Amino acid sequence: MRTTFLGLLLALCTCGSAQSAYETLTDLNYRPDSTDAYIQERCVLDFYHPTDSSGFATVVFFHGGGLSAGAKFIPEAWLDQGIAVATANYRLHPRVKNPTYIRDAAAAVAWVMEHIEEYGGDPARIYVSGHSAGGYLTSMIGLDTTYLAVHGRHPDSLAGLIPFSGHTITHFTPRQERGLEWNDVVVDRYAPISHLRPDAPPLLIITGDRERELFGRYEENAYFWRMLKLSGHPNTWLYELQGFDHGGMARPASVLTLDFIRGRLP
């Protein structure tokens, strides 16, 4: 499926504001039992949530940066839209190695699943999303059930997974840790496509334009989408954002995310 540049401009211009009152809690430690200094530094999230409503949806969002850089932020399109956002940091290469990144992401999601009702959110309306490396983490913790199982949780209770231009093969940083080149393709247990499940949460897969994306990123996501469908997954959709490159696709993807949460997609 291709989404046109004009259509997204219209969506960006007409994205309405919910006019809720909000509170932002910063640097909440989602691994509070650890005394490790690097965990205390990086295993934190900011939580932006409505204070004058309840039963709202929540998006747990992971930043990009190749698993070696980046920091938490809230996509601008999600501000004052009647949803909550938990945006999380995680430990980075080279100070840690795979699968520490995935384990941290799972711990952040588990923290939100455990605490969201305390802030008025609906635990049945938790979505996970992320851009690039964050999209990879989204798919891994949503499809490989072992990461949330450590925390006594199951990804099938999530309302949806929304990876923005994430790897569906094994991420290039774990490959680099093995001494491989960026184009040495690996599909092992650290590849989301290795964990196809028909009962997985709904997936909204979004990429930039296939001619402007990174390293065949559209093509691997298209294959991921097709294999999920052939494996019997009933709720998987693929959007290619025509005209947008890898970095630029994140803003229109965040608008599509709002439409998905509100039941306007597909």
Answer whether residue 1 shows pLDDT above 80: no
Answer whether residue 152 shows pLDDT above 50: yes
Question: How does the average pLDDT of the chain come out, rounded?
Answer: 94
Q: For the chain, count helices (H), then strands (E).
A: 8, 9
Give pLDDT, residue 129: 99
pLDDT tens for each residue of 251-261: 999 999 999 99
Res. 6 pLDDT band, cuts 50 70 90? very low
> Where would I find the H helices in the chain?
5-14, 37-42, 100-115, 133-143, 146-149, 172-177, 217-230, 250-261
The domain ranges of the chain are: 2-261
What angle do the packed helices 100-115 and 133-143 form, to 10 degrees? 70
pLDDT tens for each residue of 8-63: 554 554 455 556 799 999 999 999 999 999 999 999 999 999 999 999 999 999 99
Nearest-angstrom CA–CA distance, 216 and 210:
7
- Give Cβ neighbours of residue 75 (< 8 Å, ≥ 6 apart): 61, 85, 250, 251, 254
In CATH terms, 2-261 corresponds, of 3.90.226.10, 3.40.50.1820, 3.30.420.40, 3.40.605.10, to 3.40.50.1820
pLDDT tens for each residue of 87-104: 999 999 999 999 999 999
**Planar angle of CA 165, 105, 250, nearest 5 degrees:** 25
